[in-house]
Amino acid sequence: MTPLAELRTTRHGDAVVAEIVGEVDASNTPQIAGDLRDLVTNRSTRLIVDLSPTRYLDSAGINLLFSLGEELRAHQVQLRLVVDPASPVARMLQLTGLDKANATFESLTPALAP
């Protein structure tokens, strides 16, 4: 069985980039949440979640990103989101206010800037 989403990660200095390819829903949110949390170390200053290749994000995924942002802020780590402004995922971020709660960028390059 093929997973709904694949997490691809890279490190850029003290920033970790996690690209979510596929669909995020209640069935895979716990796994994605654990994987994202495991990426953050005591040397991390930013976790960048790239939602550009994410085709679907339901309320469980939105809740995950809200709670992850709060947890990271408590540890002085920034959560930054990358999303294509023309995508349905961008619309979900706007409707829920997630784009206001966390820094949101249209591409990875500005999200990587200090």
List, in order of start, the domains of the chain with CATH numbers.
Answer: 5-112 (3.30.750.24)
For residue range 46-105, list pLDDT tens digits in order.
Answer: 999 999 999 999 999 999 999 999 999 999 999 999 999 999 999 999 999 999 999 999
CA distance 33 to 30: 5
How high is the mean pLDDT of the chain? 95
User: If we measure between CA atoms, which residue out of 32, 30, 81, 23 comes closest to residue 55?
Assistant: 23
Record the tokens describing residue 82, joined without a space: 């990358």
With H, G, I as helix, E, B as strand and everything else as coil, classify residue 34: helix
Length of the chain: 114
Share of the chain above pLDDT 70, in %: 98
Q: Are 52 and 83 in contact (CB under 8 A)?
A: yes
For residue range 21-34, list pLDDT tens digits in order.
Answer: 999 999 999 999 99
For residue range 68-82, list pLDDT tens digits in order.
Answer: 999 999 999 999 999
Phi-psi region of 13 (alpha: psi -120 to 50; beta: other; left: phi over 0): left
How much is the pTM?
0.94
